[in-house]
Structure 1
Amino acid sequence: MQVLDEKQTREALPFDELISAIERMFASDCVTPLRHHHEMEVPGEADATMLLMPCWLPGQYSGVKFLNLFPDNHLRSLPTIIGRYLLSSGKTGEILALIEGGELTARRTAATSALASRYLSREDSRDLVMVGTGRLSLNLMEAHYRVRPIERVRIWGRDLRKSSLLAEEAIKLGIPAEAAPSLEDAARQADIISCATLSNEPLIRGEWLKPGCHVDLVGAFKPTMRESDDTAIQRSSVFVDTYEGATHEGGDIAIPLKTGVLKLEDIRGDMRELVTGKRPGRTSQAEITLFKSVGAALEDLAGAILAYETTLRATDSR
């Protein structure tokens, strides 16, 4: 059985290959049962979340991710997301690999956003605004940078010092990043706005969005949380990773559905419909698009298979 730590997982999941693997998985016949999602009380702190996410490709691979999300872990200098992925043979049930879950989650989430951007953002998108300074943000910048000709990245967070430090990390990866003192000023100029926060109140205002902008929402993973306001939803062509997940778990979609600002039939498509051509993506240069992602087990399975097979090839070639 392979055991991959954080560094090994990252090295086994280059974004170009991961984006393609996730695209194939969305178009496949994989089976994705409803995930187990449990709130856990942490006395004196924000509630934590336990996730169990199974998925399988009949006769090929099966897997399950066990993940804990502790929002206040930054107080202990620990990552917010801690977990592991268990990959098994879909033919014999033999355990093949144990993969570090936090890195897998961060990279597959960013890769899914980049895949959505291929269908929804303008091909000439050059200005990216990153909202949030957590672990996922660097992955999102790198993934978006792989699919669009990004020339400028501005990072906004509640702590400008953290934004500046994250910009320094991005520059080391060859990404032209800088801290943004004003979210509104940055957003009004953006071709792509990517959000990865734990915000309970909208950060992105629809009135800020210029024609042709693409909004990528991957934070605010609970139905009470949101990163965009009603105006952003109303002005945008709305797409989701999966209907089941986004309409029930992500407040950016669940709240407007509940209040009547958005109707289910207003959602233009999900990732499977996009990658199979059942629904069109962007239809004009001036269209504002919005993608809400809450994560899907098939993304984890795609990443776990890629990490396993990549590591297996490297071992066999020695």
Structure 2
Amino acid sequence: MLILDTDQTRAALPWGDLIRAVEAMFAGECEMPVRHHHDVDVPGEAPATLLLMPAWVPGRYIGVKLVSVFPDNHTRGLPAIFGSYLLSSGQTGQMLAVMDGGELTARRTAAASAVASRHLSDENAETMLMVGTGRLSLNLMEAHASVRPLRHFHIWGRNAANAEKTAEEARALGLNAVAVADLERAARQADIISCATLSSTPLIRGEWLKPGAHLDLVGAFKPSMRESDDEAVRRARVFVDTREGVLSEGGDIVQPIRSGIIGADAIQGELSELARGTVRGRQGPNEITLFKSVGAALEDLAGAILAYEKHRG
């Protein structure tokens, strides 16, 4: 059985290959039950979350990811997310591989945003604002840069020192990145805004979005969480990774639907429809687009198969 640690998992998932694999899986025939989502009490701290995400391609592969999210891990100097991915044969059930679920999650999440960006963002986008300084931030910048000619990266976080550190790490990867303190100013300038936070109140205001902007909402994975306000969904054409997932878990969409700001029919399409070409993405240079993701198990399966087959040769 193949076992891949964090570094090996990362090396097996280069951006170009991974983005193509994720888009192909959305366009294909993957079976994906709704994920199990359980709140877990942590005495004296914020509640944790346990996620179980199964998916399979009949006759080929079966996979399941086990993920824990502990929001207060930052007080221990630990990542908020830990997880493992188990890949098995879809013909025999034999276990084939175990790989680092955290690295797989970070990369496949960013790859899904890049797939959406290929369909929704301005093809000439040059400036990206990254809101959040966690594990996903570098991945999201690299993934978006692999599909758009981005030249400038602005990074904002609640902790200025963390934003500076993330900008330094981004520069080490060859990205022209700087930390910014004025979120509104940076948002008004950005062609692409990507948010990856655990915020429960809006960070990005719809009135800040310039004509042609693309808003990529990756964090806020519970109905109680939110990274954008009502005006953002009013102004934008809205797309999601999966309707079922977002309508049950994505606070950026669930909350304005519950309050009557928009209806469920405001969702223009999901990634499978964009990947298959049955729904049109960006329709003009001044159109504002919004992509909300909560994660889909088929993204993990696509990455796990890619990693396994690369190592198998």
Q: TM-score, normalised by structure 2?
A: 0.99
- Which residues of 2 match residues 104-123 of structure 1 at below 5 A? 104-123=104-123
- Which residues of 2 match residues 87-236 of structure 1 at below 5 A? 87-236=87-236
1:311 matched to 2:303? The reply is no
Deviation at 1:207, TM superposition (A): 0.5
Post-superposition Cα deviations, 1:1-56, rounded to whole Å, max 9, x if no partner, equal 00000000000000110000000000111100111100001111111000000000
Deviation at 1:309, TM superposition (A): 0.7
Q: Which amino acid aligns with 2:171?
A: I
Deviation at 1:110, TM superposition (A): 0.3
Q: Which amino acid aligns with 2:8?
A: Q
Work out the CA distance in 2 between the residues paired with 1:265 and 1:251. 16
Partner of 1:3: 3
Partner of 1:44: 44
Question: Identity across aligned pairs (percent)?
Answer: 63
Work out the CA distance in 2 between the residues paired with 1:284 and 1:6. 40
Report SS of the residue matched to 1:268: strand
Work out the CA distance in 2 between the residues paired with 1:156 and 1:79. 19
Partner of 1:53: 53
Deviation at 1:258, TM superposition (A): 0.7
Q: Which stretches in structure 2 are left out of the alignment for 5+ residues?
A: none
Deviation at 1:139, TM superposition (A): 0.5
Work out the CA distance in 2 between the residues paired with 1:262 and 1:247. 12
Runs of 4 or more off by more than 4 Å in structure 1? none
Alpha carbon RMSD of aligned pairs, Å? 0.5
Q: Which stretches in structure 1 are left out of the alignment for 5+ residues?
A: 314-318
Report SS of the residue matched to 1:274: helix
Q: Which amino acid aligns with 2:181?
A: P
Q: Which amino acid aligns with 1:211?
A: P
Work out the CA distance in 1 between the residues paired with 2:196 and 2:262. 22
Report SS of the residue matched to 2:284: coil
Work out the CA distance in 2 between the residues paired with 1:250 and 1:113. 15
Deviation at 1:260, TM superposition (A): 1.0
Partner of 1:73: 73
Partner of 1:316: none
Partner of 2:247: 247
Q: How many residues align?
A: 313
Deviation at 1:222, TM superposition (A): 0.6
Work out the CA distance in 2 between the residues paired with 1:54 and 1:144. 27
Partner of 1:284: 284
Partner of 1:86: 86
